[in-house]
Amino acid sequence: MAIVAPHVRKPLSADALFHLVHSGFASLPDYRMGDVEIALTDALLSACAMFALKAPSLLACDKERAEGNLPTLYGIARVPCDTHMREILAPISPQVLRPVFKSLLRQLQRGKALAAMTFLEGHSLLALDGTEYFSSKTLHWAAC
């Protein structure tokens, strides 16, 4: 007896969704002046990968970087180390990223991928916030 994989709509495939996020990040202006070592797109995708892979720490995510899995899975040209990622991303306002995630959400809604998560007068419950996942009670920084 053959196993039949469920039909997956192409716009909702992982590759299509990663491409949507990648192109959205690539359209954002890089605030840094001059020649940069690592593209803003790569830093943003690396941060997304860190949360998507549920790395227990930035160090564990850095291990993925060293093993070369992040470029393969996420199409990242150069993966920053954790310190460099923080330096690049700290000045970016979440409002700048909003259009990218809105386009991703629109794609998921259009493809009915979120229908099973709809409740209470058509609202959806999504746990997308990672602000408490990596936190410290002892280290503080004005930009955080």
Encode pLDDT of 71-85 as tens digits. 777 888 888 887 888
- The domain locations on the chain are 12-26+38-124
Would the CA dihedral through 15, 21, 27, 30 be positive or negative?
negative
Q: Is the pLDDT of residue 64 over 50?
A: yes
Q: At what angle do helices 82-89 and 58-67 cross, to 10 degrees?
A: 110
- Looking at residue 89, its pLDDT comes to 92
Distance between CA 25 and CA 91 in Å, rounded?
A: 15
Encode pLDDT of 86-130 as tens digits. 899 999 998 999 999 999 989 988 888 888 878 788 777 766 555
Distance between CA 65 and CA 62 in Å, rounded?
A: 5
Total-model pTM: 0.72
